[in-house]
Structure 1
Amino acid sequence: MRYDVRRVRAEEWAALRELRLAALRDPVAHLAFLDTVAAAEARPAAFWQERARSSAAGTTVAQFVALAPTGGPDELAGELADELAGTVTVLVTSAGERDYVGETSPSPSAAMVGVYVPPEHRGGAAIGALLDAAQEWVRDLGLERVRLHVHEHNARAQAAYRRLGYVETGAQAHLGGAVHLELERDLTDEPAPPR
């Protein structure tokens, strides 16, 4: 299946909220996310609206979604409806600022967080399409590397990232009381390994 990937739109905040809740309900959510369903459900609409707005147009955060064609008509838009088949968010940290794991960045850096692909889209092209779009955005910023952290016991995610050209740096982050391995991708070596 071919996936189209694009940056999120501010007006789709409700759909993004639902995708996040689905991610947090996933059986492996405890290995992938530091958030909980209860905390996410308690956040007001204004939180989700601002999150979508900043992810749609920001220069220090960008969220991307993979769209899987459903083949059905979308009555509101008058075009083919697409199912949200995954998401990834990129956080950019300036030199001297603290990043999302609390470390001071010696130079501008980018990290991928909130990676989620629903079970029915795992094992295919969705994850690669998402990461390709996010990596292209990072390249366009002039950055040469992107990193992410994956729970030490999340073997499936580790394997997917390695297949897509990510390598362990040897660094670890302690997030949510668990060890997360740091993986990094050199964006100067075009393109990613074949999938």
Structure 2
Amino acid sequence: MTYQIRPVNADEWSQVKELRLAALADPAAPVAFLDTLEWAAERPDSHWQERTKDASLGGSTRQFIAEDAEGRWAGTVVVLVERAGEDDFFGNPVHTPQAQLVNVFVRPEHRGGGLTERLFRAGMEWAWSLEEPLVGRVRLFVHKNNPRAAGFYRKFGFIPTGHVIDSDHEMEIARA
């Protein structure tokens, strides 16, 4: 199947919401994402509109989607830019500009054909292309009970940093 990998547009908030809810309904969600279907479903439309607008601009966030030939969204990845001197998503100080990959998801019927790799590569290429801030590393967190995801990330050169969060369940892995 042919897919176009592209950033979201600000007016596509309802598709962003639907894809996120689908990701959180996936059986792997408890070890793949930090938020829950219940939490996301309760968010007002204004939350999704603002989130999508920010992700479409590519300032501190960029969301990529995979769209099939019929316009259906098959998967996504989000890149968060973390600037030195600011706090990261978890409230920890950022010392070196970095990017964090989050919300990696491909619908089950689109898995197994390399789409996750293409989305992941698009997110990484965008992060490394930033000139301001110049990203010194790309990181993400993987649940200790998600060896499939950890193996996928190792293929891209990500290694454990030793930093853990969420009662030692989420391990930081990074690539410089």
Same fold (TM over 0.5): yes
Q: Secondary structure at the match of 1:160?
A: helix
Change beyond 3 A, Cα 1:161–1:123: farther
What TM-score do the two structures reach when normalised by structure 2?
0.91
> Which residues of structure 2 form unaligned runs of 5+?
none
Higher strand content, 1 or 2:
1
- 1:150 and 2:139 are equivalent in the alignment: no
Q: CA RMSD in A?
A: 1.5
Q: Find the counterpart in structure 1 of residue 59 from structure 2.
A: 59
* Equivalent pairs, count: 173
Q: Distance in 2 between matches of 1:164 and 1:122?
A: 18
Q: Which of 82, 91, 95 is the aligned partner of 2:84?
A: 95
- What's the CA shift string for 1:76-107, capped at 9, x where partnerless? xxxxx222111111111111211112221112
2:153 to 138, 151, 161: 161
Match of 1:88, SS state, is strand
Alignment CA distance shift 1:163-1:123 (3 Å) = farther
> Which of 155, 173, 185 in structure 1 is aligned with 2:165?
173
| Larger Rg, first or second structure (1 or 2) | 1
Aligned identity (percent) is 45
Indicate how the Cα distance of structure 1 residues 90 and 53 shifts in structure 2: closer, same or farther if over 3 A, else same. Answer: same
TM-score (norm 1): 0.82
Contact 1:128 1:164 in 2 (8 A): no
* Pair 1:85 & 2:78 matched: no
Residue 2 (structure 1) shift: 4.0
CA distance in 2, matches of 1:139, 1:32: 24
**1:5 aligned residue:** 5
Q: Which runs of 5+ in 1 are unaligned?
A: 70-80, 187-195
Equivalent residue letter for 2:120: L
CA distance in 1, matches of 2:44, 2:83: 29
Residue 22 of structure 2 is matched in structure 1 by 22
